[in-house]
A and B are shown apart, each in its own frame.
Chain A
Amino acid sequence: MPLEQLIAGDEAGADQEFLYTLNFGPQHPATHTTLRLVLTLDGETIVKAVPDIGYLHSGFEKLGEDLDFNQYITIVDRMNYISPFGNEVSWHHTVEKLLGLELTPRCKYLRTIFAELARINDHLLCVGANALDLGGLTAFLYAFNEKEKIYNIFEAASGQRFHPSFSRVGGLMNDITDDVVDLIRNFVKTFPKPHADVTRLLNRNRIFVDRTKGIGVLSKAEAINTSCSGPVARASGVVRDLRKDEPYLAYPELQGSFKVVCATAGDCYARYLVRMEEMIESVKIIHAAVENIPSGPVNIALNDKMTIPDKTATYRSIEGLIQHFELFMWNRQWEPPVDEVYGATETANGELGFYVVSDGGGRAWRARTRPPSFIHFAAFPALIEGHQISDVPAVLGSLNIIAAELDR
């Protein structure tokens, strides 16, 4: 978009020649991702911020109409690529709601554990990168050290570190082995120490607190009115967490093991604190879940004709082979009702929802995503106005804007 067009409607300082315009991004180390801000400045104070997005728009939702329910998982992975498994859970939660599937208890627990690991991963990146932007390299390194362990768990479970594409309609790609359980147990045991280290490094760090406290304040009314969700809304006092309010997967059975973390200040520091505490709650969920993983199959039964059979069944039994072809031939596949459904789960960034319209085929007619980053970034100009230009990284980091999810 040409610069003249963006600032054309700017009455705030049109006749005041001391205001000047600064282009922030699309390539800037503090944005971490590709987004652009056009800032109107009075000295170092931001009078107006106009976001310009779309640099990473790659038509994910159009692809969702072309790929089937299982194939689209690879695209969903790349939305919020910091916690891809959370997106997979959300997508298949909606698809299974459409198909009317009830998962096996084992699959529910495994998905819950991996979704919580993804949440910790996302919060670690957010907290670490936020600290890095504000000058705290040590906390960043501690956080990334732990992220590496989570990637190891995903690698052991699915064979992929970054984009596991692990979930399938009606189950998971494969069951996990005991090694994975050991890795998760080990992570649960060791994680509190580095978490406490980061807490001690940042919570009372003079520079960090000065640069985050009272910056980018989002009131409770504003948070609701601008549709914010997740840690951003909870840091403003909105007590809403889909894991408690609309429990899905194994959360109904794990209600006693975690609390909803909230703050009232609504500033960057509150958002940081909420994320730190949520990691502890996630560890509690994982701890409770990993010791109680039910036995039994991970996929729903073969004769339901919904899940991809494992390779043994495909190669050794005629039912398995038929089922395999039924799901992979583009004129067969699933037969969902001709209807539409909205399903949402609580991912690390907030409520990630999908609105799936089905025409009765194996591909979605429309796969609308409700991207939390997009909605949080819409609230960004109001948060930053009146603050200094050096506060831009602090506020951007605390909202955890992931541009791939922002633009899709």
Chain B
Amino acid sequence: MPSALETLATKFPGAYTTSVFRDNQRVVVPSDKAPAVLFDLLKCLKDVCGFDMLCDVAGVDYLNYPNATDRYAVVYALTNTTSGERLFVKALANDPDPALPSVVAFWQGADWMEREVFDMFGIVFTGHPDLRRILMPTEFAAHPLRKDYPLRGRGERHNFPTITRSES
């Protein structure tokens, strides 16, 4: 059986680059190809290569990061529960409308993890069944894990609407 990378190389030539760091094998999908390719690429990894578990979905903001070319990245940590193999698919996205296809159709576990990335970074997952904020309140306007959001907030907590006893 061909390895996952060989399968990808025949099906999606030129659509991604690969890199290795420590034991992490990575597949990087550039921002211009990600919206079109990512969905099929992950579908292929699940159905053909046996990556049946989506271990993690991590958002990263690369604003002012050394040598960064793109603003955001979403890292899908895939696991093959039969062989124990891991693969990290990193899809890049950019302002003004960072958007990537949702993978809830393949892995139910992606539901909340994509919601969290949307909540924290404002990356929209198109096709997500219920893309709402999950950790921050609905009224919250910013995306707090973006690098241009200050550590101490913008006074949201200080100005949070409160109800006094007489008003209740």
Question: A interface vs B, CB < 8 Å?
Answer: 1-2, 5, 9, 53-54, 57, 59, 61-63, 65-66, 97-98, 100, 222, 224-229, 238, 240, 245-246, 337-342, 344, 351, 353, 355, 357, 359-360, 365-366, 368, 370, 374-375, 377-379, 407-408
Chain B residue at smallest Cβ distance from A50? B130
The interface stretch among B2-10, B50-58, B160-168 is B50-58
Contacts of B54 in A (CB 8 A): 227
1/0 per residue B62-73: CB within 8 Å of A?
Answer: 000111000000
Choice from B21, B53, B144 contacting A227 with Cβ under 8 Å: B53
Among residues of A, the one whose C-beta sits closest to the C-beta of B107 is A225
Number of A-B residue pairs having CB atoms within 8 Å of each other in the complex: 117
The minimal Cβ–Cβ distance linking A164 to chain B, given in whole angstroms, is 26
Task: State which of B109, B112, B134 has its C-beta within 8 Å of the C-beta of A225.
Answer: B109
Within B63-121, which residues are at the interface with A (CB < 8 Å)? 65-67, 75, 77, 81, 84, 86, 88, 107-113, 116, 120
Interface, chain B (partner A; CB < 8 A): 21-24, 52-56, 58-61, 65-67, 75, 77, 81, 84, 86, 88, 107-113, 116, 120, 130, 133-138, 144-145, 151
CB-CB under 8 A for A359 and B65, given A1-B137, A341-B22: yes
Within the complex, the shortest CB–CB distance from B135 to chain A, in Å, comes to 4
8 Å CB contact of B60 from A2, A100, A366: A366
Q: Which of A62, A97, A360, A375 has the most CB of B within 10 A?
A: A62
How distant is the Cα of A245 from the Cα of B107 in the complex, in angstroms? 22
Q: A1-B138, A59-B144, A360-B66 are in contact. Are A224 and B21 (CB under 8 A)?
A: no
**Once the chains bind, are A224 and B81 in contact (CB under 8 Å)?**
yes
The reply to whether A5 and B138 contact each other, CB–CB distance below 8 Å, is: yes
Question: What 3 pairs between A and B have smallest CB-CB spacing?
Answer: A227-B109, A368-B58, A378-B112
Are A370 and B56 interface neighbours, CB within 8 A?
yes
Residues of B within 8 A of A61 (CB): 120, 145
Complex CA distance for A337 and B81, rounded to whole angstroms: 30
Given known A54-B134, A341-B22, contact A355–B108 (CB-CB < 8 A)? no
